Amino acid sequence: MKDRPTVLITGASHGLGLALARLLIEKRRYRLVLTARPSSLFRFGELGIFEDPDLMLTPLDVVDPLSRETAIHNVTVRFGGVDVLINNAGVMTRAVLEHVTEEDHLEQMRVNYRGPMELTRLVLPYMRAQRYGRIINISSVGGMMAMPTMTVYSASKFALEGASEALFYEVRPWNIRVTLVQPGFINSDGFERVAYTGRSFQGHEDARSPYHAHYHYMEAFVAKIMRRTWATPESVAARITRLIEQKRPPLRVSGTVDAFLFSMLRRLLPRTLYHEVLYRALPGVSQWGRTPPDARAERE
């Protein structure tokens, strides 16, 4: 590990990215590049985070090719290059497949999959040249096991995991290590920022929708778990910090206890039993697919 590695964090103005930024600022062992979408960059000042010789704040929209290239160019000019890339920025869309348009699907993939991969591609030449680098991709338990009403989100995280696994083998000869961090439920307001598509919002609001029960029970279940879990953005950030400093970090790391338990469940149970257990454990699943009484009355 270099004495003063340059660490770039995407989506650093809130949530896990912000917790990680604050922790690394306190350590004073890194040159930091904190990024946020142009519209969110002002948040750093409100949070008391300002530029200094070892801290760079720069706008970065991970889905915009020019924004990605400009950000990496500016970091290279100032610090020489990126030694540790933490792809944290992401969005979560709640929708069943029937409520997802092609554009909805592509937008989720652009942010959660293509953005991280394109940023990684831009920093790899520098890492290869110095024969050192760290790529840390923030995945999710949703990249290991899919959840209903999170179809395209799970698809984007599964894609991120597959590409990261391939990359793990490709760049290891140059001492570049790739790690996927899989957080589960985190006690934060993240569930309040989950986006709906136009049709999924209608399905959530309209009790006559065939998928209304799916949205109703899953949303309440996730909110309840996230309010009660012990895991916090700070605890996951501490786990990521240890990965930066680890000489041989593994490919996959559970970011929370529940993510570890889910991974063990997936390994130990026969696949058919595993899916049956999870299906029966879904909140309110006995009500899924039932036609609401008022909808039946309208048809009659």
Return all residues near 268 (Cβ < 8 A) that are at least 6 apart: none
Does 122 map to a domain? yes
Task: With respect to residue 165, please indicate whether it lies within any of the assigned structural domains.
Answer: yes
Q: What integer is the mean pLDDT of 108-134?
A: 97
Is residue 77 situated within a structural domain? yes
Write down the pLDDT at residue 1. Answer: 64
- Which tens digits make up the pLDDT trace of 17-73? 999 999 999 999 999 999 999 999 999 999 999 999 999 999 999 999 999 999 999
Q: Where in the sequence numbering do the catalytic residues fall?
A: 13, 139, 153, 157
Q: Is residue 133 part of a domain?
A: yes
In a domain, 198, yes or no: yes
Query: What CATH number does residue 259 fall under?
Result: 3.40.50.720
What three-state secondary structure class fits 179? Answer: strand
Cα-Cα-Cα-Cα torsion 225, 229, 232, 235, nearest 10 degrees, comes to: -140
Q: For residue 299, tell me if it sits in a domain.
A: no
Closest CA to 182 of 117, 263, 249: 263
Q: Is residue 90 part of a domain?
A: yes
Which two structure tokens, joined as six digits, stand for 261? Answer: 């338990």
Domain with 56, as residue range(s), is 6-292
Q: Where are the alpha helices (DSSP H) in 61-206?
A: 65-79, 102-109, 115-130, 151-171, 198-205
Tell me whether residue 73 is in a domain.
yes
Dump pLDDT digits (tens) for 239-275: 999 999 898 999 999 999 999 999 999 999 999 999 9
Locate all alpha helices (DSSP H) within the chain, ordered by sequence: 15-27, 43-46, 65-79, 102-109, 115-130, 151-171, 198-205, 212-228, 233-245, 257-268, 271-281, 293-299
Query: How many domains does the chain fold into?
Result: 1
